[in-house]
Amino acid sequence: MASTPFSRFQSTLTAVLEKLKPTTEERKLLSEPQHVHQTKIALKRDDGTMVEYPAFRVQFNNARGPYKGGIRYHPAADLDEVKALAALMALKTAVVGIPFGGAKGGIQMDPKKLSKRELQEVSRAYVRAFVKQMGPDIDVPAPDVNTTPFVMAWMRDEFEKQTNSYSPAFITGKPMAFGGSLGRDTATARGGFFLLQELIDRQALDPAELKVAIQGFGNVGGTMAHFLHNAGYTIVSLSDSQGGIYSAEGIDPVRIEKYKRKTGSVTGEYCEGSVCDIQKMKMDGVTKVTNEQLLELPCDILIPAALDNVITEKNADRIQARYILELANGPTTPEADQILEKKGIRVIPDILSNAGGVTVSYFEWVQGRSGEQWTAERVDSELKRVMLDAYKAVRRTAYREKMSYRHAAFAVALKRILDAMRARGWVA
């Protein structure tokens, strides 16, 4: 039977629980979400027709604090995927030690097919559907794939209308004009960047000698490309959902960004649709690559920063990078993990690598509740501290328990969740 996102989560969970030896009751609580909310959202399209989209909010665990996690708009965002992502959120908040549980939401649809009015309508309807289940002390949503600060602003506005309240801490990832935090937009990439810097410092490596391939040029992948380029790394490949480019000599992400804005694609400088200017590509030493090819290119650091399930038992053996920094959620399957481990490739797992986003969400929530405004410097330095503390805890556990970094990150997080459940008296 083919694996699913949730079965992949459970497979890693089972392997790590072997070592933690929880009771049957504890194991049960760690293996399934506490609440699954689902409904259908009806939308009147601009042309007058009615459509319905499945919508979900999965609340995995709140032993450590209010449920926390983004809302994803994607055709593949079904219940199984949202469950897996909710579980990963519970572990992510625990691994960085912020006082939240884990949740995730999704609307199963293609937002690229909607007008701005339709998008706003769907976003407000989502809040109305789950208004009783969410709130600043209950469950705090945030952006995820295809949801932007604009969407967060509509959602906060709708929540405040529905509850007749002033609730800046209802949702994070808001625009600066409506209760956002400085540094939230770049936080996921920033957190990953701090980890990578620490990793290469400890290995006495020099950014100038390191080649990086990044899959995904959205908010996370695109921002990471800029940070790495500015720090002296050579970006050899970049891609978006339509494909990417490769240059052994290096790519300037600023240029790519300009063309992406103009043409809608990272290959825009060389190609229009499937027609490419081969001459220009040759002159610049650039070749076109698919998203699958990108993963197998010669490089030192591979950064999957798009969707899940891209590094599998089918391609793991051909990966040439020494390090994989998972900025996407769930990019590597458990089978691929085993192959990568045998090959000596170090994987810095999603729940650690991409935890910068939810960490600055926590800072935004704190600011929303206190009415304070933190400076960019404060956000940056607190984020660095949180990320490096988490990294240290994971590295130590990996070393002590002879585990992969993924298993160590799971172990650190699960232990913290278990401790909170025991302290609350949920389990003996």
The residues assigned a catalytic role are 104
Nearer to ligand GLU, 22 or 99 (CB): 99
Nearer to ligand GLU, 86 or 316 (CB): 86
Cα 254 to the center of its chain, rounded Å: 23
The reply to whether 356 sits near ligand GLU by the rule CB under 6 A is no
Total residues in contact with ligand GLU, by rule CB under 6 A: 14
Nearest to 210 by CA among 328, 306, 286, 321: 321
Nearer to ligand GLU, 17 or 358 (CB): 358
Nearer to ligand GLU, 29 or 328 (CB): 328
Cβ atoms 55, 108 nearer than 8 A:
yes
- 288-323 as b/e, with b when 16 or more CB fall inside 10 Å? bbebebbbbbebbbbbbbbbbbbbbeeebeebebbb
The reply to whether 172 sits near ligand GLU by the rule CB under 6 A is yes
With contacts defined by CB under 6 A, name the span among 258-266, 291-299, 350-358, 373-381 that binds ligand GLU. 350-358
With contacts defined by CB under 6 A, name the span among 40-48, 63-71, 272-280, 394-402 that binds ligand GLU. 63-71
The stretches of 244-318 forming alpha helices (DSSP H) are 253-263, 278-284, 291-295
- Strand 346-348 to strand 323-325: parallel, antiparallel, or no bridges (unpaired)? parallel
Cβ atoms 405, 398 nearer than 8 A:
yes
Nearer to ligand GLU, 194 or 246 (CB): 194
Rounded to a whole number of angstroms, the minimum distance from the CB of residue 38 to ligand GLU is 19
The reply to whether 70 sits near ligand GLU by the rule CB under 6 A is yes
Cβ atoms 237, 243 nearer than 8 A:
no
Cβ atoms 211, 298 nearer than 8 A:
yes
Question: Positive or negative, the Cα torsion across 318, 323, 329, 330?
Answer: positive
The reply to whether 357 sits near ligand GLU by the rule CB under 6 A is yes
Rounded to a whole number of angstroms, the minimum distance from the CB of residue 149 to ligand GLU is 12
With contacts defined by CB under 6 A, name the span among 157-165, 356-364, 401-409, 410-418 that binds ligand GLU. 356-364
* Residue 327 identity: L
Q: Which strand (E) or helix (H) includes residue 63?
A: none
- 344-358 as b/e, with b when 16 or more CB fall inside 10 Å? ebbbbbbbbbbbbbb
The reply to whether 239 sits near ligand GLU by the rule CB under 6 A is no
Nearest to 142 by CA among 104, 168, 115: 104
With contacts defined by CB under 6 A, name the span among 33-41, 124-132, 136-144, 295-303 that binds ligand GLU. 136-144
Q: Please give the Cα distance from 322 to 315 (Å, whole number).
A: 15
The reply to whether 300 sits near ligand GLU by the rule CB under 6 A is no
Residue nearest to ligand GLU (CB): 70
The reply to whether 253 sits near ligand GLU by the rule CB under 6 A is no
Cβ atoms 343, 337 nearer than 8 A:
no
Nearer to ligand GLU, 171 or 289 (CB): 171
Which of 65, 66, 69, 191 forms a contact with ligand GLU (CB under 6 A)?
Answer: 69
Which of 234, 309, 329, 367 forms a contact with ligand GLU (CB under 6 A)?
Answer: 329
Which of 153, 196, 295, 358 forms a contact with ligand GLU (CB under 6 A)?
Answer: 358
Name the site residues for ligand GLU (rule: CB under 6 A).
Answer: 68-70, 92, 142-144, 172-173, 329, 354, 357-358, 361
